[in-house]
A and B are shown apart, each in its own frame.
Chain A
Amino acid sequence: MANLRHIVVVGNGIAGVTAARHIRKLGNDRITIISGESDHPFSRPALMYIFMRDLNFADTKLYEDGFWAKNRIELRRDWVEQIDTAAKRLRLRGGESLSYDALIVATGSVPAREGWPGEELEGVQSLCSLQDVELLERNAASARRAVIVGGGLIGIELAEMLVTRGIAVTMLIRERFYWSSVLPDGEAEIVTEQARAHGIDLQLDTQLSAILPGSDGRVRAVTTAQGTEIPCEIVGICTGVRPRIDLATISGIECNRGILVDRHFRTSASDVYAGGDCAEHRDPPTGRKAVEQVWYTAKIHGETIGAHLMGQAEPYCPGIWFNSAKFFDLEYQTYGDVPRSAPEGVHSFFWRDTVGRRCLRVNFHAGSGAVLGVNVFGLRHRHAVWEEWITSTTHVREVMAHLAAANFDPEFFCRAEPEIVAAFNRAHPSMTVELKSRRGLFSSYIRSLFQGRRDGADQPFENSSAS
Chain B
Amino acid sequence: MNSSPVQNHALTPDPHRLDPLEKLALAVLALGLAAFVTGLFYVNEQTPGGARFLWLCGAWGAVVGGGMLYGIRKYAKQLPGVRNHGVTSESLTARGAVGWLLAILFTAFYICLYWYPSLLEGWIRLHDPLAQALQGKPADQWFVYGTFYTAAVAVMGAKALAKHRHSRYQIVRISCIIFVQSIFAWILPALLAKLSQPEAALTYFWPLEYDKLMPDNVHELLSWRTHFATFCVFWFVAGTFVLAPVLTYFFGKRWYCSWVCGCGGLANTAGDQWRQLSDKSLRAWRLERWTVHSVLLVIVLLTGFVWLAPRLPEAFQASIDGARKWYGFLIGLVFSGVIGVGLYPLLGTRVWCRFGCPMAAYLGLLQKYFSRFRITANGSQCISCGNCSTYCEMGIDVKWYAQRSQNIVRASCVGCGLCAEVCPRGVLNLENGPTAGRVPDAFSLAGPLKARPPRA
The interface of chain A, by Cβ under 8 A from chain B, is 14, 18, 21-22, 25, 43, 45-46, 49, 52-56, 59-64, 66, 145, 163-170, 197-201, 221, 223, 226-231, 295-296, 299-300, 302-303, 307, 312, 314, 317-320, 322, 324-326, 328-329, 331, 333, 380-384, 387-388, 391, 408-414, 440-442, 447, 464, 466-467
Interface residues of chain A: helix, strand, loop or mixed (majority): mixed
Question: Contact: B15 with A324, CB < 8 Å?
Answer: no
The interface of chain B, by Cβ under 8 A from chain A, is 1-6, 8-17, 79-82, 84-89, 166-169, 171-172, 280-282, 376, 378-381, 383-387, 389-390, 397, 400, 403, 417, 420-421, 424-426, 429-434, 444-456
A132 CB, min distance to chain B CBs, angstroms: 17
3 closest residue pairs by CB, A with B: A383-B379, A441-B433, A166-B14
Q: In the complex, what residues of A have CB within 8 A of residue B452's CB?
A: 314, 317-319, 467
The residue among A169, A383, A387, A466 with the most chain B CB atoms within 10 A of its own CB is: A383
Question: Contact: A388 with B450, CB < 8 Å?
Answer: yes
Q: In the complex, what residues of A have CB within 8 A of residue B453's CB?
A: 314, 317, 467
Q: Count the A-B residue pairs with Cβ separation under 8 angstroms: how many?
A: 228
A211 CB, min distance to chain B CBs, angstroms: 14
- Complex CA–CA separation, A54 to B387 (angstroms): 8
Question: Contact: B282 with A46, CB < 8 Å?
Answer: no
Question: Contact: A55 with B385, CB < 8 Å?
Answer: yes
- Complex CA–CA separation, A46 to B10 (angstroms): 27
12 A-B pairs besides A63-B400, A382-B379 with CB distance below 8 A are: A18-B446, A46-B383, A49-B385, A66-B282, A200-B10, A299-B447, A302-B446, A318-B452, A333-B425, A387-B451, A440-B433, A441-B431
Q: In the complex, what residues of A have CB within 8 A of residue B16's CB?
A: 166
A43 CB, min distance to chain B CBs, angstroms: 4
The residue among B1, B10, B80 with the most chain A CB atoms within 10 A of its own CB is: B10
Question: Contact: B384 with A62, CB < 8 Å?
Answer: yes
Q: In the complex, what residues of B have CB within 8 A of residue A410's CB?
A: 167-169, 417, 420-421, 429-430
Tell me the nearest residue of chain A to B172, going by C-beta: A412
Contact of A168 among B10, B383, B421, B446 (CB under 8 A): B10
Q: In the complex, what residues of A have CB within 8 A of residue B86's CB?
A: 52-53, 164
Q: In the complex, what residues of B have CB within 8 A of residue A60's CB?
A: 384-386
Tell me the nearest residue of chain B to A444, going by C-beta: B434
B405 CB, min distance to chain A CBs, angstroms: 9
A42 CB, min distance to chain B CBs, angstroms: 8
Question: Contact: A55 with B88, CB < 8 Å?
Answer: yes
- Complex CA–CA separation, A167 to B426 (angstroms): 28
A-B contact pairs, 13 of them (CB 8 A): A55-B88, A55-B385, A164-B85, A201-B8, A227-B1, A295-B383, A302-B445, A326-B424, A331-B425, A333-B425, A380-B426, A391-B450, A412-B171
- Complex CA–CA separation, A14 to B446 (angstroms): 10
Q: In the complex, what residues of B have CB within 8 A of residue A380's CB?
A: 378, 426, 429
Contact of A317 among B167, B390, B451 (CB under 8 A): B451
Question: Contact: A166 with B5, CB < 8 Å?
Answer: no
Tell me the nearest residue of chain A to B386, going by C-beta: A59
Question: Contact: A62 with B169, CB < 8 Å?
Answer: no
Contact of B4 among A165, A201, A229, A409 (CB under 8 A): A229
**With contact pairs A54-B85, A324-B425 given, residues A319 and B11 touching in the complex (Cβ less than 8 Å):** no
- Complex CA–CA separation, A331 to B427 (angstroms): 11
Question: Contact: A383 with B167, CB < 8 Å?
Answer: no
- Complex CA–CA separation, A388 to B1 (angstroms): 57
Question: Contact: B445 with A43, CB < 8 Å?
Answer: no
Question: Contact: B378 with A383, CB < 8 Å?
Answer: yes
A273 CB, min distance to chain B CBs, angstroms: 16
Q: In the complex, what residues of A have CB within 8 A of residue B434's CB?
A: 441, 447
Question: Contact: A22 with B383, CB < 8 Å?
Answer: no
- Complex CA–CA separation, A201 to B166 (angstroms): 24
Question: Contact: A53 with B378, CB < 8 Å?
Answer: no
Q: In the complex, what residues of B have CB within 8 A of residue A326's CB?
A: 424-425
Q: In the complex, what residues of B have CB within 8 A of residue A331's CB?
A: 424-426
Contact of A303 among B385, B425, B445 (CB under 8 A): B445
**With contact pairs A59-B389, A166-B12, A329-B82 given, residues A412 and B384 touching in the complex (Cβ less than 8 Å):** no
**With contact pairs A197-B79, A414-B168, A442-B433 given, residues A43 and B15 touching in the complex (Cβ less than 8 Å):** no
Tell me the nearest residue of chain A to B420, going by C-beta: A410
Question: Contact: A391 with B451, CB < 8 Å?
Answer: yes
Contact of A324 among B397, B421, B426, B448 (CB under 8 A): B426
Question: Contact: A164 with B15, CB < 8 Å?
Answer: yes
- Complex CA–CA separation, A14 to B15 (angstroms): 34
- Complex CA–CA separation, A324 to B168 (angstroms): 22
Q: In the complex, what residues of B have CB within 8 A of residue A43's CB?
A: 383-386
Tell me the nearest residue of chain B to A162, going by C-beta: B12
Q: In the complex, what residues of B have CB within 8 A of residue A197's CB?
A: 79
Q: In the complex, what residues of A have CB within 8 A of residue B6's CB?
A: 170, 201, 228-230
Q: In the complex, what residues of B have CB within 8 A of residue A312's CB?
A: 455-456
Q: In the complex, what residues of B have CB within 8 A of residue A200's CB?
A: 10
B1 CB, min distance to chain A CBs, angstroms: 4
Q: In the complex, what residues of A have CB within 8 A of residue B168's CB?
A: 410-414
- Complex CA–CA separation, A68 to B252 (angstroms): 33
Tell me the nearest residue of chain A to B281, going by C-beta: A64
- Complex CA–CA separation, A153 to B45 (angstroms): 67
Question: Contact: B379 with A322, CB < 8 Å?
Answer: yes
- Complex CA–CA separation, A60 to B15 (angstroms): 24
- Complex CA–CA separation, A89 to B431 (angstroms): 51
Question: Contact: A46 with B88, CB < 8 Å?
Answer: no
Question: Contact: A383 with B381, CB < 8 Å?
Answer: yes
B449 CB, min distance to chain A CBs, angstroms: 4
Q: In the complex, what residues of B have CB within 8 A of residue A413's CB?
A: 167-169
- Complex CA–CA separation, A170 to B429 (angstroms): 35
- Complex CA–CA separation, A18 to B449 (angstroms): 15
Tell me the nearest residue of chain A to B86, going by C-beta: A53
Question: Contact: B379 with A166, CB < 8 Å?
Answer: no
A467 CB, min distance to chain B CBs, angstroms: 5
Question: Contact: B384 with A46, CB < 8 Å?
Answer: yes
Q: In the complex, what residues of A have CB within 8 A of residue B421's CB?
A: 410
- Complex CA–CA separation, A334 to B2 (angstroms): 42
- Complex CA–CA separation, A440 to B84 (angstroms): 28
**With contact pairs A55-B387, A64-B282 given, residues A383 and B380 touching in the complex (Cβ less than 8 Å):** yes
Q: In the complex, what residues of A have CB within 8 A of residue B79's CB?
A: 197-198, 328-329
Q: In the complex, what residues of A have CB within 8 A of residue B282's CB?
A: 64, 66
**With contact pairs A168-B9, A333-B426, A383-B379 given, residues A53 and B87 touching in the complex (Cβ less than 8 Å):** yes
